[in-house]
Amino acid sequence: MPPKVNPLRLNNLQRKTLAVLQALAADPRASTTLPETGEVLITGFPPPHGDHFHVGDTVIMAKDATGLRNEAVWRALERKGLARSEFPIAIHLTASGLSYDTGLEERILHRHSH
């Protein structure tokens, strides 16, 4: 039986935010892996460049990342065990947060030469 889609019932904003945070976690310029816990600490939040911003080799539309500046979204991810918030400075993605399948990567993480 295939795994249930969105088992934690994240809303659309939470799912988008988690997908963006996962991209930031994969970028060494924005994050640091903490070997003692396996968590990834994200402290680098790129500024928008017009209507988008760059993370590694991807382009993310600013409209898909509004949750990065929303404390309620960070707290919801924390309650669900996906993150630990230090809003607005940093967020830790847990192992569960790193591996959670949002199903949105292809829709919001655009590969683009700019």
Which pLDDT value is given to residue 27? 96
Q: How many domains does the chain have?
A: 1
Is 2 a domain residue?
Answer: no
Block residue for tokens 């990567």: 105
Residue 42: its H or E element: strand 40-42
Domain enclosing residue 86, as ranges: 12-111
Residue 78: its H or E element: helix 71-79
Is 5 a domain residue?
Answer: no
Give the model confidence (pLDDT) of 55-113 as tens digits. 999 999 999 999 999 999 999 999 999 999 999 999 999 999 999 999 999 999 998 65
Which pLDDT value is given to residue 2? 66
**Apex 87 CA angle, 85 and 92, nearest 5:** 35
- Give the CATH number of the domain where residue 28 resides: 1.10.10
CA distances from 84 to 1, 3, 95 (A): 31, 25, 11
Which pLDDT value is given to residue 49? 86
Is 66 a domain residue?
Answer: yes
Q: Measuring CA to CA, which residue among 76, 66, 60 is closest to residue 26?
A: 60
Is 6 a domain residue?
Answer: no
Is 46 a domain residue?
Answer: yes
Whether the per-residue pLDDT at 114 is higher than 70: the answer is no
Which pLDDT value is given to residue 113? 57
Is 93 a domain residue?
Answer: yes
Whether the per-residue pLDDT at 48 is higher than 70: the answer is yes
Distance, first Cα to last Cα, the chain: 41
Is 7 a domain residue?
Answer: no
Read off the pLDDT band of 5 (50, 70, 90): confident
Is 83 a domain residue?
Answer: yes
Which pLDDT value is given to residue 4? 77
